[in-house]
Amino acid sequence: MAMLDGTCREVLEQTEFVAIVTNAASGPHLVATWGDYVRQLGWEGDRLLIPVGMLRQTEANLARDSRIQLLVASRKAEGTRGPGQGCLIEGKGTIITSGEEADRAKATFPWARGALVVVVEKVTAQL
Amino acid sequence: MAMLDGTCREVLEQTEFVAIVTNAASGPHLVATWGDYVRQLGWEGDRLLIPVGMLRQTEANLARDSRIQLLVASRKAEGTRGPGQGCLIEGKGTIITSGEEADRAKATFPWARGALVVVVEKVTAQL
C-alpha cells in the first residue's frame, strides 16, 4: 500500500493547510501552503506535488539538506483517539521548474514557477 | 500593540491546528496541536499557552535550543492576498509542569502534564 493511502489520505483530503519544514543552516524553516493547492495537483504513489510561487528559502534549504517534513491535520478525519487526526509526512524534497510536473503546476496556478516534489519515505499519525 | 493582536489574532481564532517546530540535534522536529486547545488556554500580551500531553521530544529540543516556531492558518481569515491568511509565530518556548499556568492547563485538559509557554518575539504574515 502506498504510504499516502489509509488514514493519511483522509487527512490530506481534509486538511485546510499544510505545514512545510526544511533544515536551514540557522535551524528549522517553517512555511505553509493551502491544502486545496496540494489537492489540485494531487499525489500518486509516494510522490506528492506542491505548487511553488516563492519558497526561495525552502529551495535553498533543500539544496543543502533534501529532508522535508509536512504536517497535515483535520478535525473532520476519524482519529485514533476520537474525532480529528494529524499526519506527519517525512521524505525528500526537490523544487523543479521544468518538466511535466512543473508544467502542470504552472498551468494550474498562474503564479507558480514550478513544483515542490516530495518523495514520501515515512508517515506517522499525530494528534 | 501586542504581537498577537491584529491579523494574527484573527488567524489564531480560526486555525484548525497549530504546527509546532523545534530544533533537534538531528534537525527540525515538527508536531502539532489543535487550535481549540490553544484557544481554551488563550494568550495574553505576547505569551501563548499550549497544553502538554506528551511532547517529550519537543521538551528535550527546547532544553538545548529554546527557539520555537508556530504556524497557524485559516481560509476564513481575511488575507493580504485574498481570502485566507497564515501567520508564522516565532519566539522562545519552555515546558512547565508546575505553577499557575501549568495548573490551568491540567485543570482544563485532564490528560495534560503541563503547559508549553511560548514568549512571542516575531510574527510574520504567511500565505
Q: A30 vs chain B: nearest CA distance in angstroms?
A: 7
* Local structure of B1: helix, strand or coil: coil
Residue with cell 476564513: B76
The 8 Å CB, 24+ separation contacts for B75-84 are B75/A16, B75/A34, B76/B14, B77/B7, B77/B10, B77/B11, B77/B14, B78/B7, B78/B10, B79/B127, B80/B7, B80/B125, B81/B127, B84/A34, B84/B127
Residue of B nearest to A15 (CA): B16
Mean pLDDT estimate for chain A: 95
pLDDT of residue A79: 79
Q: Do A17 and B88 touch (CB under 8 A)?
A: no
Q: Do A65 and B21 touch (CB under 8 A)?
A: no
pLDDT of residue A1: 57
pLDDT of residue B1: 57
CA dist A21 and B21 (Å) reads 8
CA-wise closest residue to B68 among B41, B88, B98 = B88
Query: Complex ipTM, two decimals?
Result: 0.96
* Cβ-based contacts under 8 A for chains A and B: 83
Chain B residues inside the 8 Å CB shell of A88: 30-31
**pLDDT surpassing 90 at residue B83:** no
pLDDT in tens, B94-121: 999 999 999 999 999 999 999 999 999 9
Residue of B nearest to A86 (CA): B32
Q: Do A30 and B19 touch (CB under 8 A)?
A: yes
Of the pLDDT bands very low, low, confident and very high (cuts 50, 70, 90), residue A71 is: very high
pLDDT of residue A14: 96
Residue with cell 515538527: B30
Residue of B nearest to A74 (CA): B16
pLDDT of residue B82: 74
Q: Do A31 and B69 touch (CB under 8 A)?
A: no
pLDDT of residue B2: 79
Residue with cell 489520505: A9
Q: Is residue B77 within a helix (H) or strand (E), and if so which, with residue range?
A: strand B67-79
